[in-house]
Amino acid sequence: MNRKIIHIDMDAFYASVEQLDFPALRGKAIAVGGAEPRGVVATASYEARKFGVRSAISGVQARKLCPHLIFVKPRFDRYKQLSMQIRAIFYEYTDLVEPLSLDEAYLDVTENKKGNPSATLIAQEIRQRIFLETGLTASAGISVNKFVAKIASDYHKPNGQKTVPEAEVQEFLDVLDIKKFYGIGKVTAEKMYLLGIFKGKDLRSKSLAFLERNFGNSGHYYYELSRGIHRSEVQPFRIRKSVGAEQTFAENLTSEIYMERELSLIAQEVVQRLQKQQVAGKTITLKIKYSDFSTHTRSKTLKNFICTHEELMEPLRELLYQDRLHDSVRLLGVSLSNLNNDPEHLPPSRPQYIQLKLVFPEE
């Protein structure tokens, strides 16, 4: 049975919330994030995007692109409050809601609570309700699977929507630049360009053997994407794959002793998140970003699940001193994956949790 999938994506969500709550910011170029030398833009208003300001760029670079840019500190509690209000609207139409973040989600409305056979009309109604109830705008993509719906939601931004019926999926993808394919990142796109793959039709013209030879295990995935094949269902309860935290430093670190001290603080944050999620993991990963912005990761998989600060720090020290650092360090990150919430780790007759060792601070 063909599915009816909607991808809802809020328009410049964090920035739009700030402009909603503070009318003086409306119509102005603003960036949510930090203006300091190590600050990063979380999101930018559409007025700022006209100057090239985008998420994930440094605050310094953003200021150079747009000298009159206004920086606003993020207020995540407020963003989460509105996100929950918007999500409540989704659940009035279907229980098959898969949130991707605070500002976007997939909805499967093949069978919906309103009995409306038109996914296009449902998306339009949801967008209208979001605006009336929150004052914020959203864009939507509607199609037969998550992959095409997500691409379509970006087609008429902001405050628009696009429907791609099954009969038009191939035509839609054929003329699309492959860098717009969800799942094909910047590095892969550049490699495809070198191989003469620029549009969806170019990708579709390549044999499965060619794609697997050049892209390994991802070759089959790209082969199917170019044909609009994407079997992933909307998952209302997404299993968390990892828990982590990272820190960008005001000044680069050159001493491993200082790095170990910072790793201890980051590990403590990870422990708090593990306790909140009631999970433990086996694979620990250390992320190191150097001053030249190159990023390296080091991982180790343990025999047993771990979840305490002491258990984290032992392998982290080992990973830190595993190889010599080739430059000063601007960011460190710690993540724990291979979690015990993965069904493959759970006997079918056992409840899906383990007792965690909780450490309480002294009074």
> What confidence score (pLDDT) does residue 277 get?
81
* pLDDT tier, 276 (very low <50, low <70, confident <90, very high otherwise): confident
Angle, vertex CA 218, rays to CA 216 and CA 222, nearest 5: 125
* pLDDT tier, 354 (very low <50, low <70, confident <90, very high otherwise): very low
Would you please indicate which residues are annotated as catalytic (active-site) residues? 104
208 with 248, same domain?
Answer: no
Residue 87 lies inside a defined structural domain of this protein: no
Last residue of a domain, one of 76, 106, 131: 76
* b/e sequence 12-38, b meaning 16+ C-beta within 10 Å: bbbbbbbbeeeeebeeebbbbbbbeee
In the sheet that 161-163 helps form, which strands lie side by side, from edge to edge? 97-101, 104-108, 5-10, 138-143, 161-163
Residue 109 lies inside a defined structural domain of this protein: no
> What confidence score (pLDDT) does residue 34 get?
82
Mean predicted confidence (pLDDT) in 250-256: 85
CATH of the domain at 214: 1.10.150.20
Q: 9-20, pLDDT tens digit by residue?
A: 999 999 999 999
- Percent of the chain topping pLDDT 70: 93
246 with 340, same domain?
Answer: yes
275 with 186, same domain?
Answer: no
Residue 350 has pLDDT above 70, yes or no: no
Last residue of a domain, one of 192, 225, 258: 225
8-state DSSP, 133: H
Residue 183 neighbours by CB under 8 Å, 6+ apart? 147, 221, 225
Structural domain total, the chain: 3
Least confident stretch, 112-126, 159-173, 282-296:
282-296
Question: Rounded distance, CA 29 to CA 39, Å?
Answer: 17
Residue 108 lies inside a defined structural domain of this protein: no
Angle, vertex CA 46, rays to CA 186 and CA 58, nearest 5: 50
Residue 346 has pLDDT above 50, yes or no: no
Residue 357 has pLDDT above 80, yes or no: no
Q: 180-212, pLDDT tens digit by residue?
A: 998 888 889 999 999 999 999 999 999 999 999
Burial bucket for residue 341 (CB in 10 Å: 0-12, 13-18, 19+): middle
> What confidence score (pLDDT) does residue 1 get?
56
> What confidence score (pLDDT) does residue 56 get?
84
204 with 290, same domain?
Answer: no
178 with 221, same domain?
Answer: yes
Residue 293 has pLDDT above 90, yes or no: no
309 with 265, same domain?
Answer: yes
Mean predicted confidence (pLDDT) in 204-232: 94
> What confidence score (pLDDT) does residue 358 get?
40
Last residue of a domain, one of 60, 76, 92: 76
CATH of the domain at 326: 3.30.1490.100
> What confidence score (pLDDT) does residue 342 get?
60
Query: What radius of gyration, in Å, describes the C-alpha atoms of the chain?
Result: 23
Residue 247 lies inside a defined structural domain of this protein: yes
Question: Rounded distance, CA 11 to CA 43, Å?
Answer: 10
- Chain centroid, CA 291 distance in Å: 24
Mean of pLDDT over the chain: 89
> What confidence score (pLDDT) does residue 359 get?
40
Q: What range defines the domain where residue 189 resides?
A: 169-225
Residue 188 lies inside a defined structural domain of this protein: yes
204 with 257, same domain?
Answer: no
> What confidence score (pLDDT) does residue 7 get?
98
Residue 253 has pLDDT above 50, yes or no: yes
Q: 77-120, pLDDT tens digit by residue?
A: 999 999 999 999 999 999 999 998 899 999 999 999 999 999 99
> What confidence score (pLDDT) does residue 348 get?
40
